[in-house]
Amino acid sequence: MSTDIAVDTLVNGRQRDQIVATDRGLLFGDGVFETMGFYRGQCPLWKLHMARLQRGCLALGLESPDFDLVRRECETVTENCTRAVVRLTVTRGSGGRGYWPDSTESAPTKQSRIVHRRAWPKGLKKAQNHGMSAMISSIRLTEQPALAGLKHCNRIEQILAAQECQRYAVEEAVLLDQVGRVAEVISSNLLIRLNHQWRAPLSPAAVAGVGLEWLLSSAPIAIDADVVDMNDLEQADSILVINSVLGIRPLRQLNERKLIVDSECRQLQSHWNHHLIPPCDD
């Protein structure tokens, strides 16, 4: 189990848990973030997380942080932890006028860098072993080509979908985009099995998950990346949820329809666990 340590949050390298009220990440969601799983101070998907963060910074016109510095800060907040979740957030900081960021050299905006550790999620093994209930959400994800695939700080659509799950007492929600393509679940990507073939849904409204990226390049089972619509979704016999921290979790039920969790699902889970999760003593 993780030991209790004093430092769980660093803001611009200093031990604190507050940011100023004028930070543009707070005011406008003007920033990007990564949520990473650490095992005894190591993040197996570190390079993929930093590559996506760099793409996000470039798209928003932010300066990418010093990744060696960020790595040391992550090591600080996870010191003596067996397992921990770390969120790295980079915002534009304070400055500018309303939506207009400050771009003058005489008064540059100082970016904010927040490294925060939180506890390993509870109930994860149960979700991985027994699966989760899910619904098809009424919330449709919007598409913005300039932000496609990025982990930016505007997540209000996901919050609305999570509230809908709470109202209907289900654990997850499948989200479609504005033209009816299957995109993702609330904080994870999807794999669906249709006619004995695994497919990763393609939609510009979905986050380009690093866990899915790794799996597509290494899976022992063929997986195609293709558009998935509602008709495909209704005919799928198995659905897996992919998240870089939470691993691979099956859906046991979508709306009122039961789904299969069989040997292929377990094979993908075993492949993930073998390569990405070092043995930890609980």
Q: Using alpha carbons only, give the angle 245, 278, 52 rounded to the nearest 5 degrees.
A: 40
As given in the structure block, the two tokens for residue 14 are 């200093």
User: Which tens digit of pLDDT belongs to each residue from 194-237?
Assistant: 999 999 999 999 999 999 999 999 999 999 999 999 999 999 99
- Confidence label for 2 from pLDDT (cuts 50, 70 and 90): very low
Angle 210-218/46-60 helices, nearest 10 degrees?
130
Closest CA to 55 of 129, 134, 146, 131: 146
Closest listed residue to residue 250, CA positions, set 274, 267, 229: 267
Residue 68 corresponds to which tokens in the numbers above? Answer: 């060696």
> Which domains, and CATH codes, for the chain?
9-118 (3.30.470.10), 124-276 (3.20.10.10)
Are 38 and 73 in contact, with CB atoms under 8 Å apart?
no
The rounded radius of gyration (Å) of the Cα atoms in the chain is 19
Q: For position 102, what pLDDT does the model report?
A: 84
Identify which of 153, 151, 227 has the alpha carbon closest to the alpha carbon of residue 183: 227
What share of the chain has pLDDT > 90, as a percent?
89
pLDDT at 3 over 50: no
Query: How many beta carbons lie within 10 A of that of residue 23, not counting itself?
Result: 21
- What pLDDT score was predicted for residue 108? 52
Could you tell me how many residues make up the chain? 282
In angstroms, the Cα distances linking 152 to 40, 100, 144, 203 are 27, 18, 12, 16
How big is the CA angle at 185 (ends 181 and 187), to the nearest 5 degrees? Answer: 135
pLDDT in tens, 120-151: 999 999 999 999 999 999 999 999 999 999 99
Each residue of 29-50: pLDDT tens digit?
999 999 999 999 899 999 999 9
176 — pLDDT class (breaks 50, 70, 90) = very high
Angstrom distance (rounded) from CA 272 to CA 172: 21
Query: Rounded to the nearest 5°, which phi and psi values hold at 157?
Result: -65, -40
